[in-house]
Amino acid sequence: MKNSWATVTVDGSAMGLYLSQPDGPGSFPAVIVAQNQDGVAAFTQEMTRRVAAAGYIGIAPQFYHREGEPKTPEETASFKNTRRDTNVLNDIHATINFLKGCANADTSRLGVIGFCMGGRIAFLAAAATNSFKAAVDFYGGGTYQQWGDRPAPATLAANVSCPIQGHFGELDKNPSPDEMRRLGAELTKLGKAHEFFYYADAPHGFNRSGWKGYRPEADETSWARTLEFFAKHLGGATVTKVAAAG
């Protein structure tokens, strides 16, 4: 596995990309990894490496590039006021264009996965673009909330263009299980392919190791389901045993 950083320019700003690639010449399907609220820090980087260990090119764009990566909890909290879906979609398109320039990336088999705010971004990507073959949402809060002037992702459910898988903790408050069951019911009504899973005694961030809310069994089960889902819709993956994320 090869891990590296690259940079692209989006809206006049330099956006970092954390890239993790399987060994070998490819070509490989690719998966965009949408960060949690901490930015492209240890957890998001580890999840990107998990993606590569399964046989995909994993790439995590720094959605905070306009502000800079947060260095304190206070900075992280303040960034919530600056999030704009228009910017997010510009960043996603720039990431896809970067992948198109990678000789070992097969962008006809492109997935997206996200955690926390990134889970919301994964749903947005499935609903606001036609670029993806599969999307995975890990406890994406705020799906019914607007970031800027664009409609909230949940209101775009009729436009979802690929199968979606979701993983949610029964103890989570944002998103709450009831909110996600509501969204799941809407996807069912619309005939959109999806599968949502709920994990007992699991809070928000249940797959992030190193804190009291980590649930190893839910982590392993949800990741196995994720890899099966990507293998079905993207192909070309080797399922590997999960390693705990930091």
Structure confidence by residue, pLDDT tens digits, 179-229? 999 999 999 999 999 999 999 999 999 999 999 999 999 999 999 999 999
| The total number of structural domains that make up the chain | 1
| Domain residue limits at 131 | 2-233
Which position has the higher pLDDT, 71 or 178? 178
**CA distances from residue 196 to 35, 145, 182, 200 in whole angstroms, order as listed:** 20, 20, 11, 13
Nearest CA to 198 among 150, 242, 151, 137? Answer: 137
Q: What's the pLDDT at 234?
A: 97
Q: Is residue 242 part of a domain?
A: no
Mean pLDDT of 156-161: 98
Q: Is residue 178 part of a domain?
A: yes
Mean pLDDT of 236-243: 48
Q: Is residue 246 part of a domain?
A: no
Is residue 164 a contact partner of residue 187, using CB atoms and an 8 Å limit? yes
CA–CA distance, 151 with 58 (Å, rounded to integer): 28
The CATH number that applies at residue 128 is 3.40.50.1820
Say yes or no to pLDDT of 242 above 90. no
Is residue 105 a contact partner of residue 97, using CB atoms and an 8 Å limit? no
CA–CA distance, 180 with 137 (Å, rounded to integer): 11
Lowest pLDDT segment from 23-32, 58-67, 132-141, 195-204: 23-32
Q: pTM for this structure?
A: 0.94
